[in-house]
Amino acid sequence: MKLQAADDGSLILEEIPPFLFHLLGEIAGRAASKHPRVETRFFPDPASDEELIKDWKSLVQPELHAIFQSAREIVQADLRGASGSKESLRNMRIPQSHGDAWISALNQARLAIAEESGFDEKDMVAEGEPDPEDPRSMTLFQLGFYGFLLECLVRMQE
Amino acid sequence: MPSLDSPEKETLEEVGLDAPWNVVVHNDPVNLMSYVTLIFRRVFGYSQRKAEEHMLEVHQKGRSIVWTGEREKAEFFVQQLHSHLLLATLEPAPLT
């Protein structure tokens, strides 16, 4: 896969192998996890003040839900615009105006995966080739791949 | 990685409307350092250097007080940080 920052601020992804494109297609689903630990992580209490927590749940959290979902929808739309077929290398473009949505969705997906899988800091820094026979190893690879793309997009914002 | 610290439990009435409040960001093992720095720059308008200092404090000490001021604005900042999925809480600042 090749990544290139275009003059107009968009990120161009070329020759995306089917497996990596499959992982890109999982961003939204992973990010939308309903796992209780993910819900807790995505919507933490802002303080220990009971009244504030109550207000937060009724006023702030619905807005956060909408923000997160909107980002995921933009990512899915960009993926639908990718050229190429299921078996071939794909090409796609992330417009500059969609950068924040991708950053949000990738971060959501990483956090959700880490919560669901119970990854800790030691797992995050572990090195070595992923083992295709080991689902946990492949999930960690997915987390790393999203992190790589997220890092590229963050760098482009600086 | 340290767990989310529980802020001191104090009510608005106990602290007073004008008392300062801290916005605290807590560490988590997943958010990228560059991402956290970017969010601090965007939410608070901090320089790259100041944003990195807070990011490193979060990473190394488990938490950083990233802003102190009036409660309403502190709540707004916590909301902004939650929208970027940073672990942020609001707590009364110790009175000096």
Q: Which residues pair with A133 in a beta bridge?
A: none
Say which amino acid occupies A122.
Answer: K
Domain ranges of chain A: 2-157
Q: Tokens 């209780």 — which residue?
A: A36
Per-residue confidence band for A12, with pLDDT thresholds at 50, 70 and 90: very high
Contact of A52 with chain B, judged by CB distance below 8 Å, is answered with yes
Instruction: State which residue of chain B sits closest to A110, comparing Cα positions.
Output: B30
Give SS3 for B95: coil
DSSP conformation letters of B13-69: HHH-TTS-EEEEEE--SSS-HHHHHHHHHHHH---HHHHHHHHHHHHHHSEEEEEEE
A25-39, A45-59, B17-31, B50-64: lowest mean pLDDT where?
A: B17-31
Q: Tell me if B78 and A49 make a contact (CB, 8 A cut-off).
A: no
User: Residue B16's pLDDT is what?
Assistant: 56
Per-residue confidence band for B3, with pLDDT thresholds at 50, 70 and 90: very low
Average pLDDT over residues A21-50: 96
Contact of A12 with chain B, judged by CB distance below 8 Å, is answered with no
pTM for the model stands at 0.90
| Model confidence pLDDT, tens digit, residues B25-78 | 999 999 999 999 999 999 999 999 999 999 999 999 999 999 999 999 999 999
Domain ranges of chain B: 19-92
User: Distance between CA atoms of B34 and A77, rounded to whole angstroms?
Assistant: 26
User: Residue A145's pLDDT is what?
Assistant: 96
Task: Write down the architecture of domain B19-92 according to CATH.
Answer: 2-Layer Sandwich (3.30)
- Is A116 a residue whose pLDDT tops 80? yes
Contact of B83 with chain A, judged by CB distance below 8 Å, is answered with yes
Torsion-angle region of A107 (φ positive above 0: left; ψ -120 to 50: alpha; else: beta): alpha
Q: How big is the CA angle at B74 (ends B69 and B77), to the nearest 5 degrees?
A: 130
Nearest to A44 among B4, B9, B91 (CB): B4
In whole angstroms, how far apart are CA A33 and each of A109, A150, B43, B66? 8, 19, 26, 30
Neighboring chain B residues of A46 at a CB cutoff of 8 Å = 75, 78-79, 82, 88-90
Contact of A101 with chain B, judged by CB distance below 8 Å, is answered with no
Chains A and B form CB pairs within 8 A to the count of 78
User: Distance between CA atoms of A21 and A90, rounded to whole angstroms?
Assistant: 7
User: Distance between CA atoms of B42 and A157, rounded to whole angstroms?
Assistant: 11
